[in-house]
Amino acid sequence: MASMDDLIKAIYTTPIIDNHAHPLLTPTFQTKYDLLTITTEAHGKAIKATPSSLSHIRAVNQLSEILGCEAKWEAVVKAIEIEKAREGHVWAKRCMEGIETILVDDGLDGKDEVFDYQWHDQLTRSKCKRIVRIEKVAEEIIDGLLKHRLTGARDAFATFKQFFRKAIRDAIEDPEVVGFKSVVCYRSGLDISSCPDSEFMSEFVALFSGLKAQGVTKFKRIDREFINWSLVNLTAELIGESSAHKKPFQFHTGLGDNDITLTRSSPAHLQGFIRKYPKVPIVLLHASYPWTQEAGYLATVYDNVYADIGEVFPFVSKEGQERVVREILELCPTEKILWSTDGHWFPETYLLAIVQVREALEVVLPEYVGKGALSIPQAIKAVEDIFFTTSNNLYDLKIPIKPFPPNSVAFPPRAGVPDLQLLKAFLEQNPTTKYLRLQYLDYTSTPRVRVIPVKRALAQLQANDHLQIKVAKAALIILPNDSVIPGGSATGEYIFRAILSSLRPGPSKGYASVQGEFFEEDGSKAELCPRSVLRRTTEISKSQGLKFIMGFEIEIVFMSRSPKGTFIPMIDSGGHNWNAARALRGSDKLDLLDEIYDVLLSAGIALETFHAESADGQYEFVLPPLPPLEAVDTLLHAREIITTIAANHSLRATLFPKPFENQPGTASHVHMSISSPNGDSPKIYESFYAGFLRHLPAIIAFTYSKPASFDRVLDGYWAGGRWVAWGTQNRETALRKVKDSHWEFKSLDGLANVYLAIAAILAAGTQGVADKEKMVLGDCLIDPGNLSEKEREELGITQMLPQNSDEAMKALAADEVMAKLLGKEVMDVYRRVKEAEFEMLGGMLPEERREWIIERY
């Protein structure tokens, strides 16, 4: 399943269709315009204040980092001049890395000062296309008419109208033209009116007659409202009449230079026009800033309207850009959103836009994922929609999506930017974080932590690709008393690397936690790393077309300490029953549960439900469904939060499987669904669960990993029972079928290394699908322990689960398929660790062993 790393990768590698930009200046005219314009719409004297703007300061910092120069504007300008002199258009190409194609509006003034739109083909992966600006078409026709002798203004109007219609129709037929653009926003505002042809003619005659009387021979601009409105309506009519693919009609909306009347630039003024031409695709350009929410609304409620969120990159501050993304996503479907650089004149405008939109998405989308508003696949789809898919479909470009390599001028691999940006984005949302807890589970399921101050982590990521430390190789083979297993060694080191996509706040104030993975010193994956074992397993499953979601139930018992320091039932927990209302009474309990919920939620873990369980002081917290690796990470983090808060309330939260002899035990049930296409097909999920059941006795060695685990292996306690069996809605079987591919596995407790346990489950099930395993066990609808031997045989229930640790380890050793699936080295080390651990625990008295395990798990 997709991880946060996959989302970040999508943000940096998804090809960009720049749906609105302008040509670059030719070398001759590059000095005519002020480079300060790359971050502002100001012109004239107003541009002098630009260096104090947030957008300019940010651009200086970013460009200086890319160019390797001092973070001063003068140094940046000089470095750019050197790049252009040294490599010609190569610098421009570097600035546009990641752009698939540009849809070029070449209707700006100064046509002779810029390159032709086709020249830009050398800068992009796919050929560039044209956007025809209708006002420029009209102005060029009028300019031509002024140079020719005509009998009168009325004849000029008829000729103008004929030529304009032909030009628009030709553009509709031209495969190089993919859309049209209007700047009526500048000329008369967006409150476009329908104009009778008589008014159109009257205004045109007055304009043309006046130009003739003044002797004008070079016409530049139409400022009369009725003419501008008529041109827009006429273009929309012609697009609507076309029988071919309807080419979109772009409108400048929102911010612009001081030539615009801001109060008339809101896209809300276009609502009547939108209703009038429902067959014409309409694109609202430039995020309609500051009217972004209006644009999002129009794109949401009208089928023919789309919202572009360009130009605010790089003209608006970082926080403003993130707000624009959030505002457009408040209401607007991602498939109605597209993006553009609005690049113009200078290649640096493209570069800054690309860098900054990625930074904004990298902050906003992981935040939404963390809050549960989007799943990672949905967030990845949002990236693909905004950058590529929406424009590709809207403009009928027919370009196949092909990611770029994750290496760009702005984010070279040496900078380790994905990890650095992940951490920076996290810290922006959690500014009080001072320490990072780098966590892992060893082979005894002991959670272990290294703490790194945030300042140190940031400094390391500035210089390296990853946040990592050296850890002795004994880390995975020591016992809970820190002794190394027989035959183990304290020599050698692993690289222990933080997987920053798993970063979450907590469990304590000022701390954040991140799961880590082990690597060899040469950078290769460490075979024994439990998290890497699960990662490899999910990748193998994915290669065979299988994806999963999983949700864990945390059963946990809160215990108090006696005056002697021994563990006793939580005070006032007598009469604790399943779903009992009594367990939710009393301020102490409610404060505890309320704090747990709030801290979990602040860490992006939204509980599905929580309720009292049957044992004294026992509660169950149901976690949301996630892909396997994220689900396990979330489980471990949630446990740390719960146990930490309990400790703050002078309680011990324990996962001990059977705290009280005559009361139900404590488990960590997991719900599983095959989320890939056809996952709900019986041919798929029955083979998966048949493969799982075939290897269940060996899997038990991972899911019931300590002698104490087998105290739960009883019939009649809703604990999964003692038999290899499954049943529809049967909580007395190890595997309960809920619906279609959604099943619950009950023979898993909190003492397991859950990475290895889930890896074993997925590996066995995936092998079952590969082997087209048949489900030979029948659907057991009652407690298998209450069946006669004959009844069990009729259902194929002939094999019992291991009844103790020795039996489980023997079953694991005998299962050659599981050894192949998980790796012989993993199996061998796991066996050796368990043998040493069992010997250590066996040397304790029963009550001493109980207290010892409760203290640690």
* Residue 656 pLDDT exceeds 50: yes
- 6: closest CA among 550, 461, 539? 539
- 528: closest CA among 825, 833, 821? 825
Question: Model pTM?
Answer: 0.57
Q: Name the residue with tokens 């207290």.
A: 851
* Residue 334 pLDDT exceeds 90: yes
Same domain, 505 and 563: no
User: What local confidence, expressed as pLDDT, does residue 2 receive?
Assistant: 62
Q: Decide if 50 is inside a domain.
A: no
User: What local confidence, expressed as pLDDT, does residue 88 receive?
Assistant: 56
* Residue 92 pLDDT exceeds 90: no
SS3 of residue 339 by DSSP:
coil
User: What local confidence, expressed as pLDDT, does residue 407 receive?
Assistant: 42
Reported as a single tens digit per residue, the pLDDT across 810-823 is 999 999 999 899 98
Boundary-marking domain end, from 475, 493, 525: 525
CB atoms within 10 A of CB 315: 27
Same domain, 793 and 845: yes
Cα 530 to Cα 510: distance, rounded to the nearest angstrom: 28
Q: Decide if 227 is inside a domain.
A: yes
As given in the structure block, the two tokens for residue 260 are 């615009």
- 517: closest CA among 506, 508, 507, 526? 526
User: What local confidence, expressed as pLDDT, does residue 150 receive?
Assistant: 61
Same domain, 541 and 508: no
Same domain, 379 and 442: no
Boundary-marking domain end, from 490, 525, 560: 525
Percent of the chain with pLDDT over 70: 96
Q: Directed axis angle between helix 225-241 and helix 134-146, to 10°?
A: 120
- 260: closest CA among 187, 347, 181? 187
Q: Decide if 173 is inside a domain.
A: yes
For 628, the domain range is 535-856
As given in the structure block, the two tokens for residue 83 are 């790049």
As given in the structure block, the two tokens for residue 186 are 């500048």
Boundary-marking domain end, from 525, 558, 581: 525
Q: What is the mean predicted confidence (pLDDT) over 20-47?
A: 82
Same domain, 850 and 789: yes
**DSSP states along 614-639:** SSTTEEEEEPPPB-HHHHHHHHHHHH
As given in the structure block, the two tokens for residue 287 are 């995020």
As given in the structure block, the two tokens for residue 380 are 């990845």
* Residue 410 pLDDT exceeds 50: no
Reported as a single tens digit per residue, the pLDDT across 268-319 is 999 999 999 999 999 999 999 999 999 999 999 999 999 999 988 888 899 9
* Residue 224 pLDDT exceeds 90: no
- pLDDT level of residue 572 (50, 70, 90 thresholds): confident
Q: What is the mean predicted confidence (pLDDT) over 92-96?
A: 84
Same domain, 666 and 749: yes
Same domain, 801 and 777: yes
More confident residue, 723 or 384: 384
User: What local confidence, expressed as pLDDT, does residue 69 receive?
Assistant: 67
CA triple 552-558-562, angle to 5 deg:
155
Same domain, 434 and 515: yes
Q: What is the mean predicted confidence (pLDDT) over 156-165?
A: 89
Q: Please tell me which of 30-34, 345-349, 630-634, 839-843 the model is most confident about, judged by mean pLDDT.
A: 630-634
Q: What is the number of structural domains in the chain?
A: 3
- 673: closest CA among 545, 539, 549, 547? 549
Q: Name the residue with tokens 């026709």.
A: 141
CATH number at residue 547: 3.30.590.10
Same domain, 520 and 539: no
Same domain, 636 and 607: yes
Same domain, 421 and 388: no
User: What local confidence, expressed as pLDDT, does residue 717 receive?
Assistant: 66
Give the mean pLDDT of the chain: 87
Same domain, 581 and 719: yes
CATH number at residue 357: 3.20.20.140
Q: Decide if 633 is inside a domain.
A: yes
Q: What is the mean predicted confidence (pLDDT) over 744-767?
A: 93
Q: What is the dihedral of CA 838, 843, 845, 846, to 10 degrees?
A: 10
Q: Decide if 659 is inside a domain.
A: yes
SS3 of residue 570 by DSSP:
coil
As given in the structure block, the two tokens for residue 258 are 């001081």
CA triple 433-439-441, angle to 5 deg:
160
CATH number at residue 426: 3.10.20.70
Q: Decide if 405 is inside a domain.
A: no
Q: Decide if 632 is inside a domain.
A: yes
Q: Decide if 52 is inside a domain.
A: no
